Chain A
Amino acid sequence: LRKNVEDFTGPRERSDLGFVTFDITADILNGKKCIFDWNVKQLFVYLSVEYSTKNNALNQVVLWDKVILRGDNPRLYLKDMKSKYLFFDDGNGLKGNKNITFTLSWNVVPNAGILPLVTGSGHVSVPFPDTYETTKSY
C-alpha cells in the first residue's frame, strides 16, 4: 500500500483549505485470500487524512472514496487523483502543520451480518507548507 502526495494550502476567509494530489497503489486482501468471499457484497474504500491542530486535538477528513462491488478487481492503481471533497480545516491548522497522515480504510459491507471497518496497513505522513498559495489553480 503506497501513497504519494503533493500539496499546498490556499487561503480562505477563516479556515485553511488544503489541496492535495495523490497516487494510490493498493491491493485489498483478507489475509492471503480474496476479500470478496460469499458474504461480501461490496467494499466502501476511502482515503482519510488525520492531523492535530492547536484548535482541535484530533481532526479526520475523508478526501476521497470509492465503491468496489463484488466482481470488481480489489486492486487500486490511481495516479494524480484530486481529492473528491474540499479539505477544510476548522480554523487555520493546516498552515505549517508538520504532520498530516494519510490512511486508506474500507468498510466491508456483507450480504448480511456485521459491518467491519478496516484500516489498511501503511500510511503516509506529509508536512504542509508554511505559506499560503495564491496563484496556483487546482
Chain B
Amino acid sequence: LYYQVLNFAMIVSSALMIWKGLIVVTGSESPIVVVLSGSMEPAFHRGDLLFLTNFHNDPIRAGEIVVFKVEGRDIPIVHRVIKIHEKENGDIKFLTKGDNNEVDDRGLYKEGQNWLEKKDVVGRARGFLPYVGMVTIIMNDYPKFKVCV
C-alpha cells in the first residue's frame, strides 16, 4: 500500500509540475482553455481546446484572438480584437467581439467600461484542438479549465 500511495503521489506531482511549467513557459495563468459557447463559430465550437501564450512584449493587434477577464469576474472570455488605440508609451485600449455575435463585447464589460486594457488579457490563442475539451464540459468540475467563451 505504501508503494501505491507513493506511486500515486509521483503521478500527481508530475502532472502538477508539467502544468506549472506550461504556465511559466507560455506566460499565461491559464495556458489551456476549453471553449464553452458558440460565440466564435464557425472557427471554434463548444468543447474545443485552445492553447494560449501571454508574452508581455507581444503587441495586441486588431484581428488577434485574445482571452480576457472582465474586472471582478472570474470567467475568461475568448473573442477577437476589432479595435485598438495605442499611445506612444505603449498604453493600449482595445475592443473585442465574438465572430458569431452581432454586437461587440461592450455589453459584457463592467458597468461603464468601454475598453479593455493589457492587464485584462489572460493570453492570445495560438493553437487549438477540436472536441478534446468535451471531456471537461462533461465532467464540469475542474476549476483549472473553467472558461467561458
* Contact in complex: A105, B129 (CB < 8 Å): no
* Contact in complex: B83, A107 (CB < 8 Å): no
Q: Which of B86, B99, B129 contacts A112 (CB 8 A)?
A: B129
Q: Does residue B134 face the partner (Cβ distance < 8 Å to A)?
A: no
A137–B78 alpha-carbon span in the complex (Å) = 36
Residues of A within 8 A of B62 (CB): 46, 48, 50, 60-62
0/1 interface trace, chain B 73-100, chain A, CB 8 Å (1 if under) = 0000000101111111000010000010
* Contact in complex: A67, B42 (CB < 8 Å): yes
Q: Which residues 27-86 of B sit at the A interface, judged by CB distance below 8 A?
A: 42-43, 61-65, 80, 82-86
Number of chain B residues close to chain A: CB under 8 A: 24
* Contact in complex: A115, B63 (CB < 8 Å): no
Number of chain A residues close to chain B: CB under 8 A: 30
Q: What does DSSP make chain B's interface, helix, strand, loop or mixed?
A: strand
Q: What does DSSP make chain A's interface, helix, strand, loop or mixed?
A: strand
* Contact in complex: A60, B61 (CB < 8 Å): yes
Q: Which residues 58-96 of A sit at the B interface, judged by CB distance below 8 A?
A: 58-62, 65, 67, 69, 85, 88, 90
Stretch from B5-13, B14-22, B120-128, B139-147 contacting the other chain: B120-128
* Contact in complex: A60, B84 (CB < 8 Å): yes
Which residues of B pack against A, CB within 8 Å?
Answer: 42-43, 61-65, 80, 82-88, 93, 99, 104, 125-130
